[in-house]
Amino acid sequence: MSKPVLNIGLIGYQFMGKAHSNAYRQANRFFDLPADIRMHTICGRNEGAVKKAAETFGWDNYETDWRKVIANPEIDVIDISTPGNLHAEIAIAAAKAGKAVWCEKPIGNTLAEAKAMMDAVLEAKVAHAVFHNYRKAPAVALAKKMIMEGKLGTIYHFRAVYLQDWIADPNFPLVWRLQKEVAGSGTHGDINAHIIDLGRHLVGEFDEVCGLLHTFIKQRPLAGEIDANLGAKASTQMGDVTVDDAAMFLAKFKNGALGTFEATRFAVGRKNKNSFEINGSKGSVVFNLEKMNELEYYNNDDPGDLQGFRLIQATDGSHPYAGHYWPAGHIIGYEHTFVNLVADAVTNMVEGKPISPDMVDGYENQRVLDAVERSHDSRTWVKL
């Protein structure tokens, strides 16, 4: 008996488009899902580029008008992987058309957009998901499982950084991610959003925050031609950087834990250090995306002279997701967090269960982002 087929329409074909395409291609190869994924249509404004993306990534069709993708009755899921300024309009239209909405983060460029999007999918009762993919790294999922089982006890501290350096060079050009009208914010929405999601997922809801956003380099060469990933060629004209280069804040969680968060694109030498440490009364865990197959764990119940941080390789069949791939010690990579997320989303959608993380998570995340921005403006603590 054959499985139902889930037809995907993907809007966006650059970095995230590539990662999502790979996830749709691979999920059925490693997971025994309740549906077969069909890579139906990929959509982008530049016909030549999107045609090439369709061929390269393996989509059956391509399209330049996202409205036509939504209008296509064959398509079940609209995946939104565009720059942030297009999210809200597409998501709301897709929801109204009864399509499932799976969206990149942050879901909107403003809190109002995010709320409208969340309201739209809730009202339409469509399946919805947000691509906070790092929840799906086996080591992070293991940390979540341990916390749920009480292995860390009462949580005292969440200490997270997301450190990159790809714009530390003042001559790096003014790409779309550095323009507020397109990207919404800089590090804050791009990478702080990820560690905020991990904080919400692993520790709980925020109570209040106090922080700052900062731009070190205020003018940059205008970008020339854009390439498929993050790169762009510089020109000689200068333009204003209208987003933050770094964003950091202190937080109190509702359960009494304290948090520190720092995101920057100026940590020279740090390529993608999305790292957190959680200290609880019974133990601690440490994660670093650059070594994403590993979770450090300190068990306070170990005998006194044998205590130490363990380096767990979360690659064993006993670890979340890992058993679907390779034998213990054979690592997976960044792209697999998307495969895992898609596998979960397909399963839950078909089975009529809520997807985690979903657009409510997207909205709640954005409430924290927004509170930090207001704290920056008011120079004081802001309650969630």
Dihedral, CA of residue 188, residue 192, residue 197 and residue 203, to nearest 10: -130
Residue by residue, DSSP assigns 200-255 as HHHT--EEEEEEEEE-S--EEEEEEEE-SSS-EEEEEEEEE--S-SEEEEEEEETT
SS3 at position 74: coil
Interface stretch with a second copy, choices 186-194, 263-271, 345-353, 356-364 (CB under 8 A): 263-271
- The mark string for 294-313 relative to a second copy (x by CB under 8 A, - otherwise) is -xxxxxx-x-xxxxxxxxxx
Task: Please identify, among the stretches 20-28, 71-79, 89-97, 172-180, the one whose residues bind a second copy according to the rule CB under 8 A.
Answer: 20-28
Lookup: tokens for 161: 């950084």
CA 45/CA 328 separation, integer angstroms: 43
If binding is defined by CB under 8 A, does position 112 make contact with a second copy? no
Distance CA 219, CA 52 (A): 34
Least spacing, CB of residue 102 vs a second copy, in Å: 20
Q: To which residue do tokens 């960044």 refer?
A: 334
Choose which of 98, 150, 256, 354 interacts with a second copy (CB under 8 A).
256
Min dist CB 7 to a second copy, Å, is: 18
275, β-bridge pairs: 161, 288
Q: Which of 218, 233, 254, 330 binds a second copy (CB under 8 A)?
A: 330
Residue 262 contacts a second copy per CB under 8 A = yes
For the segment 128-187, give every residue that binds a second copy (CB under 8 A). Answer: 142, 146, 156-157, 159, 161, 163-166, 168
Q: Does 292 bind a second copy (CB under 8 A)?
A: yes
Q: Which of 58, 150, 224, 354 binds a second copy (CB under 8 A)?
A: 58
Query: By three-state DSSP, how is residue 275 classified?
Result: strand
234-253 residues near a second copy, rule: CB under 8 A: 246, 248-250, 252
Q: Which residues contact 246 (CB under 8 A, 6 or more apart)?
A: 187, 213, 214, 216, 262, 263, 264, 265, 266
User: Under the criterion CB under 8 A, does residue 333 sit at the interface with a second copy?
Assistant: yes
**C-beta separation of 296 from 309 below 8 A:** yes
Residue with Cβ nearer a second copy (6 or 312): 312
Could you say whether residue 273 binds a second copy (CB under 8 A)? yes
Does residue 51 touch a second copy according to CB under 8 A?
no
